[in-house]
Amino acid sequence: MTDGNAKSMTPLEWSMLLVLSIFWGGSFLFVSLAVLDFPAFTIAFLRVAIATVVLWVVLIGLRIKTPKEKDI
């Protein structure tokens, strides 16, 4: 049964899905290769460190300010 309001994906949405699948699937490939040479803690540390750097670059690039005080 199909919905009469269903919209097909645009080329941009298909390309975003392709890029996401490459990143997602690639992470499994690289982790499976990395465990052959590095301990698990090193891999986890590097993944978090790389993600931190990427997120800071995005925040700076989008000019998003981080909070200066803790809200408790």
pLDDT for residue 3 is more than 70: no
Residue 48 is encoded by which pair of tokens?
């978090």
Classify 10 as helix, strand or coil: coil
Give the model's pLDDT for residue 51: 93
54 domain residue, yes or no: yes
68 domain residue, yes or no: no
- Region 2-12: mean pLDDT is 81
Give CA–CA dist 46/54, Å, rounded.
12
6 domain residue, yes or no: no
Domain span at residue 54 reads: 11-61
Tens of pLDDT, residue by residue over 13-72, are 999 999 999 989 998 898 899 999 999 999 999 989 999 999 999 999 999 998 888 776
Give the model's pLDDT for residue 70: 78
